[in-house]
Amino acid sequence: MPKLALHWQILIAMVLGIVAGLLINQYWTSETWTSLGVGAPAEFLAGTPHDANAQAGPLAHSARFAAKATDFCGKLFLRCLRFIAVPIVLFSLVVAVASLGDPRKLGRVGGKTIGIFLLTGFTSAVLGVSLATLTRPGVLDDPASRDSLPRAAAQSAVVAEAGAREYSAWKVVLDAVPENPFHAIANAQMLQIVVLGIVLGLGLTLIDPEKATPVIRAFDGLAEAVLRLVQLLMHAAPIAVFALISTIIAGLGLAVFKALALYCLVVVGGLAIILFVLYPGLTTLLTPRSNRVGFARFFRAMSPAQIFAFSSSSSAATFPVTLQCCRDRLGADEGIASFVCSLGVSFNMDGTALYQAIVVTFLAQLYGIDMSFGDCVTVALMAALLSIGVPGIPGGSLVVMAVVLDSIRVPADGIAIILAVDRVLDMCRTVINISGDAMGTAIVAASEGKLLTPAELAARGDSATT
Ligand code: ASP
């Protein structure tokens, strides 16, 4: 029997995970636990002794085992990817910068990369403000619906807000420069690691090639070995995707989305415009006709990374998969892919920029604050700039949200309202964040003549491995 391609396996696992999660959320209620002899399900699942669980039978224990095993599989996979993310960013960026060699070439590739990232970042933020202004998801005619908005998470909002107040554009730039490179590596500070990789790579281009070459070769070998590990690890991706998605959906269900339905729709609609119109539009326009990266080619190449971003809500954890897809499935030159994706992992967060712009406009409407044209421009600028340096972790946006809210005096405790639905929207915006890096890679690689055509890629023979 022919083996199903890995991206199909991952896609099927995702759909099954959503279905399983929804079924569990709907039908596995506290009555189900009671019928199995469990009176305090939370304690039972956590393994904390409780008198009410004394009667728990073998079925209850099996259910707990299944829940723990599922959670374990997802967490283990994420841990492996996080383990890979720091070394791969560093190794591949050093090699990429050193192999670009000539600082003029580095400047040209860097300039194009940053230009594309800024263009899409601002476009996304402007799109966010415009969509929210047009659809007005925060204007609730019925005061009862306003009162029904979830506020349960107020506590976490206070924490997120406290973290965010220390955030400013100056601080982002200052913090990007590592005081101690080993500290940056040990603490997985991606922005600092990117700076370290660029500086070290530049340093290698400036010394005697006889000394530089063995060092570059060593980094190159290490980067290659780590990417090979990613290829192997991807064989376990369907199981991990099922585990991650089913656990999240089983916990969330759909009920929480009712109160904020229009807001969620606006966010998802905006993200869809970026993913399905802006990116394929730009790659189609900006890649040559002879080697065009159109809609189908883009999605076929990037779908494993996109599904993984969706399941993990972490663009940093997805980075190894993004890089591998850009190189092995899209056909981008390794140096360019490493350079653009490494920069993108901290600089290019279009999904996050759009999201922040919508949240601020939505909350302003909810609190009855009129936004002037100037306010809209401020919000778009803040959202685009502050998306730079947002950590590529689940809920990373919340770290800077209060600063964007402050910019037009929207009370930051409004974050509590959107927290309840943040996780699923986070899954969606993370897909956009990593797709933006792939879009940049395709355009820069094609403009430098460093993008294989599908025929060349097939002849090289490794596109089919994942
Ligand atoms: N989770 C997102 C990411 O990893 C960041 C965010 O919260 O917007 O890309």
> Would you state the pLDDT for residue 159?
44
Who's near 20: CB < 8 A, 6+ residues apart?
Answer: 242, 246, 249, 250
329: Cα within 13 Å, side-chain hemisphere: 24
Q: 10 Å Cβ neighbour count for 211?
A: 9
DSSP letter at 289 equals: G
Angle between helices 295-312 and 422-447 (to 10 degrees): 140
From the CB of 390, is ligand 1 less than 6 Å away?
A: yes
Quick check: CB of 395 below 6 Å from ligand 1?
Answer: yes
**Cβ contact 323:227 at 8 Å:** yes
2, part of any domain: no
Of ligand 1's listed atoms, the one at least distance from the Cα of 392 is 4
Which atom from ligand 1 is nearest to the alpha carbon of 352? 8
| DSSP structural state of residue 142 | S
Measured between alpha carbons, how far is residue 115 from residues 80, 109, 121, 348, 374 in Å?
33, 10, 10, 11, 24
Whether residue 101 has its Cβ less than 6 Å from ligand 1: no
C-beta of 352 in contact with ligand 1 (< 6 A): yes
Which residue do the tokens 């700039």 mark? 385
CA of 275 to the centre of ligand 1 (A): 15
pLDDT for position 144:
58
Q: Is the beta carbon of 315 within 6 A of some atom in ligand 1?
A: yes
Cβ atoms of 110 and 340 closer than 8 Å: no
Could you tell me the distance, in angstroms and rounded to a whole number, from the CA of residue 312 to the centre of ligand 1? 10
Distance (Å, whole) CA 126 – CA 24: 39
- Ligand 1 site, residue 392, Cβ cutoff 6 A: yes
Which residue has a Cα nearest atom 3 of ligand 1? 392
- Asked if residue 191 belongs to a domain, the reply is no
| CA distance linking residue 431 with residue 271, whole number of Å | 9
The total of other beta-carbon atoms located within 10 Å of residue 1's CB is 3
Q: 84 with 230: CB under 8 angstroms?
A: yes
The number of distinct structural domains making up the chain is 1
Per-residue pLDDT of the chain (466 residues; tens, 9 = 90+): 567 877 788 889 989 998 999 999 888 888 888 888 888 888 888 888 888 888 888 888 899 999 999 999 988 988 888 888 888 888 988 888 887 767 777 888 889 999 999 999 999 999 999 999 999 888 765 555 555 555 434 444 444 454 455 556 677 678 889 999 999 999 888 778 888 998 998 899 888 989 999 999 999 899 889 888 888 888 888 999 899 889 888 887 776 677 688 899 999 999 999 999 999 999 999 999 899 999 999 999 999 999 999 999 999 899 999 999 999 999 999 889 999 998 898 789 999 999 999 999 999 988 888 888 888 998 898 888 888 768 888 888 887 787 778 778 888 777 878 887 888 899 999 999 999 999 999 999 999 999 999 988 888 765 444 4
Which residues are paired to 17 by β-bridges? none
d(CA 181, CA 197) in angstroms, rounded, equals 10
Closest CA to 148 of 265, 254, 259: 259
Domain assignment present for residue 304? The answer is: yes
The reply to whether ligand 1 has any atom less than 6 angstroms from the CB of 82 is no
Per-residue model confidence (pLDDT) at position 274? 97
Ligand 1 mean position, distance from CA 154 (Å): 20
Cα–chain-centroid distance for residue 356? Answer: 14
Q: What is the pLDDT of residue 166?
A: 54
- Residue 66 is encoded by which pair of tokens? 């299944």
Tell me which residue has tokens 């206070």: 158
In this prediction, residue 155 carries a pLDDT of 43
Residue 329: name the closest of 338, 318, 321 by CA. 321
Supply the angle between the helices 334-347 and 422-447 in degrees, to the nearest 10.
Answer: 140
CA of 353 to the centre of ligand 1 (A): 10
Give the separation between CA 172 and CA 27, rounded to whole angstroms.
Answer: 46
Question: Taking the mean position of all CA atoms in its chain, how far away is CA 245?
Answer: 15
Q: Whose CA is nearest to atom 1 of ligand 1?
A: 394
- Distance, CA 460 to ligand 1 centroid (Å)? 34
CATH number at 289 reads 1.10.3860.10
What HEC string does 375-436 produce? HHHHHHHHHHHHCCCCCCCCCCCHHHHHHHHHHCCCCHHHHHHHHCCHHHHHHHHHHHHHHH
**Is residue 216 domain-resident?**
no
Query: Does ligand 1 have an atom closer than 6 angstroms to the CB of 17?
Result: no
CA of 378 to the centre of ligand 1 (A): 22
Whole-angstrom Cα distance, residue 466 to residue 454?
15
In a domain, 228, yes or no: no
pLDDT at 167: 54
- What domain range is 334 assigned to? 102-182+257-460
In a domain, 427, yes or no: yes
**Which H helix or E strand runs over 202?**
helix 190-206
Residues in the chain: 466
Tokens representing 133? 């202004």
* Beta bridge mates, 254: none
Q: Which ligand 1 atom is nearest residue 422's CA?
A: 7
pLDDT of 158 reads 46
d(CA 107, CA 329): 27
Q: Which residue in 263, 258, 257 sits closest to 363, CA to CA?
A: 263
Residue 62 lies in a domain: no
Neighbours of 265 (CB within 10 A): 14
Residue 20 placed within a domain? no
Please tell me if the CB atom of residue 436 comes closer than 6 angstroms to any atom of ligand 1.
no
Task: Please indicate whether residue 397, judged by its CB atom, sits closer than 6 Å to ligand 1.
Answer: yes
Q: Which two tokens stand for residue 463?
A: 């596109």
Q: How far is the CA of 92 from the centre of ligand 1 (A)?
A: 22
**In ligand 1, which atom is closest to the CA atom of 430?**
9
The H-or-E segment that residue 11 falls in is helix 6-27
- The whole-number pLDDT of residue 156 equals 45
Q: Is 314 in the pocket of ligand 1 (CB under 6 A)?
A: yes
Atom of ligand 1 nearest to the CA of 387: 8
Q: Please check whether residue 64 is in contact with residue 45, taking contact to mean a CB–CB distance below 8 angstroms.
A: yes
